[in-house]
Structure 1
Amino acid sequence: MRLFGKLYAQALVWARSPKAIYYLAGLSFVEAFIFPIPPEVMLAPMMLGKRHKAFHFANLSLLFSLLGALVGYALGHWAFQALRPVLDSLHLLAPIEQGVTVLRQQMAQHRWGLFGVLILAALQPVVPMKFVTWACGIIGVPVLPFLACIGIGRGKRVWLLALLIRLFGERAERILHKYIEWIGWAALVLLGLLLVWWVWLR
């Protein structure tokens, strides 16, 4: 957090504001295509303050994340070449181009592999979603499958956080920080098993 410590601290201040719900919507929106801090830093304290609204906050964050993902997709599709110098100055160009390479390979080899990569990217907090949304727009991933995969991946994150806070309260933050990688991979394995089962039925 040293690189973005001030932004992280500001997000926590927003979470305690009377206008927190508007800040959450805005943060979820811009994080999907440009901002470096994930909305969970606001979601967790907001959910802890009003545990009965945990899933309401999660759904609001998910909705605006999807809207932001569409903006990132559109920018990648129509404005990437024009914005390359700006992205390079923000140190975003190289990660976006790396995402383009991975997604283009998956798209050429196997569509289901592509969708799996999208879900994994949206699920894992260590992979900023903005790189994926831009990359998908650049290579032209179909919009509806793109939104479905982002929704599944990001939805798992925010709904899991809401569930943990409803069940465990303040202990949920410590649990999530300690076991997020295990939780993410477990969810991915479950998704993979469901996909295998679906293919086997077909």
Structure 2
Amino acid sequence: MLRRLYDWTMSLAGRKSAEIWLAVIAFVESSIFLVPADVLFLPMSLAKPERAWRYALTATVASVLGGIAGWALGYYAFEAIAKPILEFYGKLDAFNQMSAGVTYGWVLLLLVTSGLAHLPPIKVVTILSGVAHIDLGLFIVSAIVARGARFFFLAFLLRRYGESIRHFIEKRLGQIVMAAAAVLIALYGIFHFALAS
């Protein structure tokens, strides 16, 4: 199923309505969809590099709005809507583990790491933020910073290096950013544990 979703998302890049689809995918990725918007953003920006910044803005705005929708699902409709979505994607166990010892600072850190590196998946964290009643204003600012940094950094790389950087982005950049996100999470855990003891 994931492969079919990925292939379908990739096929949207060549359409005249690609920018609309980018906004749709970025929106639903942040609350209910499995395939990241990068899958559409990369080929679109390579095909029309002069529009890379515009695509980054579109993806950022739509992703933040989708994050707000995920927050609302967690805040207002966890049992009715959000929980079945998490079960469908096999993310409910991960969600339950994260929510067990949740703190305000922990959720904010996860917002940044998931926005930058999909670690953990953004939809899990947006829903968790609503369940944990994270302040919506702070949530929005965190989402803008994290998602904007990701899309605008990708736009910068694609504008500067073009097709030659695509393989690196698809194969290595995600691993590097995920490793950095994991270090941030580990440092937060060590810092939090040191304060508690």
TM-score by length of 1: 0.81
The CA deviation at 1:90 is 4.0
Q: Is the 8 A contact 1:28 1:68 kept in 2?
A: yes
Q: Is the 8 A contact 2:46 2:163 kept in 1?
A: yes
Q: Hey, what does 1:155 align to over in structure 2?
A: 148
Q: Distance in 1 between matches of 2:182 and 2:97?
A: 22
Q: Partner letter of residue 93 of structure 1?
A: L
Q: Hey, what does 2:173 align to over in structure 1?
A: 179
The CA deviation at 1:92 is 3.2
Q: Is the 8 A contact 1:121 1:128 kept in 2?
A: yes
Q: Hey, what does 1:76 align to over in structure 2?
A: 74
Q: Is the 8 A contact 2:107 2:129 kept in 1?
A: no
Q: Hey, what does 1:197 align to over in structure 2?
A: none
Q: Deviations over 1:73-127 (max 9, x none)?
A: 001011102233454244232232233235x2x32xxx3x543332112111342
Q: Partner letter of residue 35 of structure 2?
A: I
Q: Does 1:64 align with 2:57?
A: no
Q: Is the 8 A contact 2:13 2:43 kept in 1?
A: yes
Q: Does 1:32 align with 2:30?
A: yes
* Match for residue 53 of structure 1 among 48, 51, 54: 51
CA 148–179 in structure 1, closer or farther in 2 if over 3 Å, else same? same
Q: Is the 8 A contact 1:62 1:151 kept in 2?
A: yes
- Count of matched residue pairs: 183
Q: How does 1:113-192 map to 2 (within 5 A)?
A: 113-176=106-169, 177-183=171-177
The CA deviation at 1:7 is 0.9
CA 162–75 in structure 1, closer or farther in 2 if over 3 Å, else same? same
What 5-or-longer segments of structure 1 have no aligned partner? 193-202
Q: What's the C-alpha RMSD, in Å, of the aligned pairs?
A: 2.3
Q: Is the 8 A contact 2:119 2:178 kept in 1?
A: no
Q: Distance in 1 between matches of 2:158 and 2:111?
A: 26
Residue identity over aligned pairs, in percent, reads: 30
Structure 1 SS opposite 2:142: helix
TM-score by length of 2: 0.83
Q: Is the 8 A contact 2:114 2:120 kept in 1?
A: yes
The CA deviation at 1:148 is 1.3
The CA deviation at 1:39 is 0.3
Structure 2 SS opposite 1:15: helix
Q: Is the 8 A contact 1:11 1:41 kept in 2?
A: yes
What 5-or-longer segments of structure 2 have no aligned partner? 188-197
Q: Does 1:99 align with 2:98?
A: yes
